[in-house]
């Protein structure tokens, strides 16, 4: 597949959702300014972050029939930033470029317009479907007043989790990390391919059993086990997570290993987590075995599939239906993982359960 650069993945923390309501712009503005200052941004940059978030939130509150804004901290080993993602069901935009032009702003907003929001951000992406809705994502990293945007940190993976209506804790969680490689790993006990010696992306999604704080504890334990495990194959990672979830409610868990240099995906799951490998003109479902990680986990089976150029791996809990089709979302695969995740959550998410989705793309 040609020469590959090592993919970049970002950690995330301090996730906050704000539902569209009259008080949302003020609440989101205050939260954004607080996050920016806490991670070390100066007063000027913090005010820019707050201004951009306020404009996005006000636009959402005024025009979406159902919308929400997510705020969170992003981290690399060297720095931290703030990201917002807006997800709405509403009129959408027939001409996104016109909406981003100077002088275009929505009535009742601060008047700086989405184009100015994009310039304040270090990375900005938007996908809109007329008559259906819009998803927008923006990253903000520390920079001096008047400095040009840095371009952000383009992660090959991003995900969203949203609690069931009426709850503040979400029982779904996801995590991504790099396997730097070095030596070829051993084959799993049940046979199949060994991990390659080249760098790979490891991705995990957990749906804690039920919902609420106890489900969140199970999914948090899965994330912690995934991060500290030295296993390199999905089956080894699942066994380590299984051991860590004993004593919790347990959950459904899927683990993927994306090997860009070899152009292949290794995928292993237990329980009701859906996996889909998308190509520009293809869709391959990835099966999980029955069971509950932390309680009942019998035989493991790893699926191996070739990676499709221009495609994406999507993993999600049953808080999203499986009825979505990428073909119904024109141009979606050209966008960032955060926007793809947001658009699929908007399209297929349900409010009667926790929802979690993870997207990996751009790594191959």
The neighbour count for residue 331, using CB atoms within 10 Å, is 9
The confidence score (pLDDT) of residue 250 equals: 98
Which residues are within 8 A (CB) of 44 and not within 5 positions of it... i.e. 6 or more apart?
Answer: 145
CATH of the domain at 59: 3.30.565.10
The confidence score (pLDDT) of residue 76 equals: 92
Q: Last residue of some domain: 88, 108, 141? A: 141
Q: Give the span between the Cα atoms of 7 and 261, in whole angstroms.
A: 11
The whole-number average pLDDT for the span 178-201 is 79
**Torsion, CA 50, CA 48, CA 338, CA 331, rounded to 10:** 120
Please indicate, yes or no, if residue 151 is contained in any of the structural domains. Answer: no
Six-digit token string for 275: 């996996």
163 shares its domain with 57: no
Contact assessment for residue 106 and residue 44, using Cβ atoms and an 8 Å cutoff:
no
pLDDT in tens, 300-312: 999 999 998 999 9
162 shares its domain with 82: no
Q: Give the span between the Cα atoms of 129 and 322, in whole angstroms.
A: 20
187 shares its domain with 315: yes
Nearest CA to 115 out of 124, 287, 30, 107 is that of 124
Indicate the average pLDDT of the chain.
Answer: 91
Q: Give the span between the Cα atoms of 158 and 147, in whole angstroms.
A: 27
pLDDT in tens, 197-241: 899 999 999 999 999 999 999 999 999 999 999 999 999 999 999
Q: DSSP secondary-structure letter at 350?
A: -
Position 114 pLDDT exceeds 90: no
What pTM did the predictor assign?
Answer: 0.92
Please indicate, yes or no, if residue 4 is contained in any of the structural domains. Answer: no
220 shares its domain with 280: yes
Q: Last residue of some domain: 88, 110, 141? A: 141
75 shares its domain with 46: yes
Which residues are within 8 A (CB) of 216 and not within 5 positions of it... i.e. 6 or more apart?
Answer: 169, 170, 171, 173, 208
Sheet strand arrangement including 172-179:
172-179, 200-208, 251-259, 264-270, 303-306
Could you list the residue range(s) of the whole structural domain that residue 220 is in? 157-361
121 shares its domain with 203: no
Please indicate, yes or no, if residue 209 is contained in any of the structural domains. Answer: yes
Pick the residue with more confidence: 165 or 236?
236
Q: DSSP of 113-169, one letter per residue?
A: HHHHHHHHSSEEEEEEETTTEEEEEEEEE---TTPPP------SEEEEEEPPTT-SS
Report how many domains make up the chain.
2
Which residues are within 8 A (CB) of 298 and not within 5 positions of it... i.e. 6 or more apart?
Answer: 289, 290, 291
Position 166 pLDDT exceeds 70: yes
Query: Please, which pLDDT band fits residue 189 given cuts at 50, 70 and 90?
Result: low
Alpha carbon 326 to its chain centroid, in Å, reads: 17
64 shares its domain with 204: no
Please indicate, yes or no, if residue 43 is contained in any of the structural domains. Answer: yes
132 shares its domain with 235: no
Contact assessment for residue 215 and residue 165, using Cβ atoms and an 8 Å cutoff:
no
CATH of the domain at 237: 3.60.40.10
CB burial class (10 A; 0-12, 13-18, 19+) of residue 309?
exposed
343 shares its domain with 202: yes
Three-state DSSP class for residue 23: coil
Please indicate, yes or no, if residue 3 is contained in any of the structural domains. Answer: no
pLDDT in tens, 142-162: 998 888 888 888 899 999 999
Q: Last residue of some domain: 141, 165, 191? A: 141
In the numeric block, the tokens 């390659």 are attached to 196
169 shares its domain with 218: yes
Please indicate, yes or no, if residue 29 is contained in any of the structural domains. Answer: yes
Please indicate, yes or no, if residue 227 is contained in any of the structural domains. Answer: yes
299 shares its domain with 328: yes
196 shares its domain with 343: yes
Kindly report which listed range (93-107, 136-150, 222-236, 253-267) carries the lowest average pLDDT score.
Answer: 93-107
Please indicate, yes or no, if residue 217 is contained in any of the structural domains. Answer: yes
- What is the H or E stretch that residue 43 is in? helix 43-63
In the numeric block, the tokens 């390199």 are attached to 232
């Amino acid at each position: 597949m040609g020469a590959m650069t090592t993919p970049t993945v970002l950690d995330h923390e301090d996730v906050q959702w704000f539902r569209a309501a009259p008080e949302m712009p003020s609440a989101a503005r205050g939260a954004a300014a607080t996050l920016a200052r806490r991670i070390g941004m100066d007063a000027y940059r913090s005010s820019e972050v707050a201004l951009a978030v306020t404009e996005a939130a006000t636009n959402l509150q005024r025009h979406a029939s159902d919308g929400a804004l997510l705020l969170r901290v992003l981290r690399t080993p060297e720095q931290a930033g703030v990201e917002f993602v807006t997800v709405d069901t509403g009129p959408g935009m027939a001409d996104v470029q016109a909406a981003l032009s100077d002088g275009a702003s929505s009535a009742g907003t601060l008047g700086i317009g989405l184009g100015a929001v994009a310039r304040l951000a270090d990375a900005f992406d938007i996908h809109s479907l007329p008559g259906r809705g819009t998803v927008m994502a923006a990253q903000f990293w520390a920079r001096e007043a008047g400095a040009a945007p840095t371009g952000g940190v383009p992660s090959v993976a991003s995900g969203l989790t949203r609690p069931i209506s009426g709850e503040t804790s979400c029982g779904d969680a996801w995590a991504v990390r790099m396997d730097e490689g070095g030596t070829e790993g051993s084959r799993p006990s049940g046979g199949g391919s060994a991990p390659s010696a080249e760098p790979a992306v490891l991705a995990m999604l957990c749906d804690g059993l039920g919902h609420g704080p106890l489900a969140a504890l199970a999914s948090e334990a899965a994330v912690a086990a995934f991060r500290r495990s030295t296993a390199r194959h999905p089956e080894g990672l699942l066994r380590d997570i299984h051991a860590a979830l004993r004593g919790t409610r347990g959950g459904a868990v899927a683990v993927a290993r994306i090997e860009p240099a070899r152009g292949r995906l290794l995928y292993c799951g237990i329980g009701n987590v859906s996996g889909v490998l998308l190509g520009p003109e293809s869709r391959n479902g990835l099966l999980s075995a029955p069971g509950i990680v932390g309680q009942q986990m019998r035989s493991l089976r790893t699926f191996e599939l070739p990676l499709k150029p221009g495609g994406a791996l999507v993993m999600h809990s049953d808080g999203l239906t499986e009825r979505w089709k990428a073909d119904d979302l024109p141009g979606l695969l050209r966008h960032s993982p955060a926007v793809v995740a947001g658009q699929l959550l908007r399209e297929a998410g349900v409010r009667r359960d926790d929802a979690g989705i993870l997207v990996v793309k751009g790594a191959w």
